[in-house]
Structure 1
Amino acid sequence: MTQDNKLQVEAIKRGTVIDHIPAQVGFKLLSLFRLTETDQRITIGLNLPSGELGRKDLIKIENTFLTDDQINQLAVYAPHATVNRIDDYNVVAKIAPTLPDRIDRVLTCPNSNCISRTEPVFSSFAVKQRQDELHLKCKYCEKEFAHSVVMAND
């Protein structure tokens, strides 16, 4: 909310709100997770003021609820995001994504020789936490990449 207590992005009656997305990541999430492949209304807030992040993105999708797998895969891109399930304009569940063991069908392997780039298979990466850095290991070529390398590839 702003100083005069007005919502900057309109409330939804029923659906999902993904909040606390790092600024400049909202559009990437829409694309990677194919969230726009629906006929439901989607409201996007970009570079909104945030006490915690300075600036944040926000996505609201009416009449759509993410699966637990989808929610947890968000942690790779937005580790501090919250996913709110809305019913009758009220938050009925507030979920913090947890880092999954695998992320499937979302990313592209940066290895140009990987079969996932040319064969009709879905991408699949094992998620590994190393000290303060996230690494992703491709199921097919078995190469491991820093999170930032895979993100820059998509």
Structure 2
Amino acid sequence: MAKKELNVSALQNGTVIDHIPAQNLFKVINILGLDKVKTMITFGTNLDSKQQGKKGIIKISEYYFKDNDVNKIALVAPQAKLNTIEDYQVTEKKVVEVPDEITGAVRCMNPACVTNHQRITTRFYVTDKQNINLRCHYCEKITDQENLRFIMEE
């Protein structure tokens, strides 16, 4: 019996986000607002991975991420890899890294924090890159990965 495969077309220009933990794939799609992107998006989840067991992948045609978006990816998929594709070739490979400081990407979990009551850009210091703990610059409350609420751009 012949083996059947479904091939996904190669990306001419755009970005591939690979090595997303399978359980976080839709979280990445949501925090990046990819439902509003007008170009072709292909994604897969629960794909076999030697490193992770199961992984997710997203291919986005004609789309490139800003640093703030890469920081958001790092908070939910710290082992992800971004590949920039131009004319069907990988022109840049970037391992996502959790930065030392996060600005304007997430909300403080402290309801009394000034950032939740005034138009002030949030700012956090990453105190634990492994477990993702963020200390608010303004109220010093720790927001952990479980309580991350991302700021969605309009």
TM normalised by structure 1 equals 0.79
Q: Contact 1:18 / 1:81 at 8 angstroms: preserved in 2? A: yes
- What is the CA distance between 1:38 and its match in structure 2? 2.7
Aligned residue identity for 1:56: K
Find the aligned partners of 2:64 and 2:110 in 1 and give their Cα distance: 33
- 1:39 matched to which residue of 2? 38
| Greater shift in the superposed pair: 32-41 or 54-63 | 32-41
Find the aligned partners of 2:18 and 2:52 in 1 and give their Cα distance: 11
For structure 1, the residue ranges without an aligned partner over 5 or more in a row are none
- 1:89 matched to which residue of 2? 88
SS at match of 2:23: coil
Find the aligned partners of 1:104 and 1:94 in 2 and give their Cα distance: 24
- 2:136 matched to which residue of 1? 138
Q: Deviations over 1:118-145 (max 9, x none)?
A: 3333332211237x54320112322123
Q: Deviations over 1:26-83 (max 9, x none)?
A: 2212222333433222222122222211111111111111234533442222121110
Q: Percent identity over the alignment?
A: 36
For structure 2, the residue ranges without an aligned partner over 5 or more in a row are none
| Greater shift in the superposed pair: 75-84 or 38-47 | 38-47
| Greater shift in the superposed pair: 85-94 or 34-43 | 34-43
| RMSD (CA atoms) | 2.5
Q: How does 1:53-92 map to 2 (within 5 A)?
A: 53-92=52-91
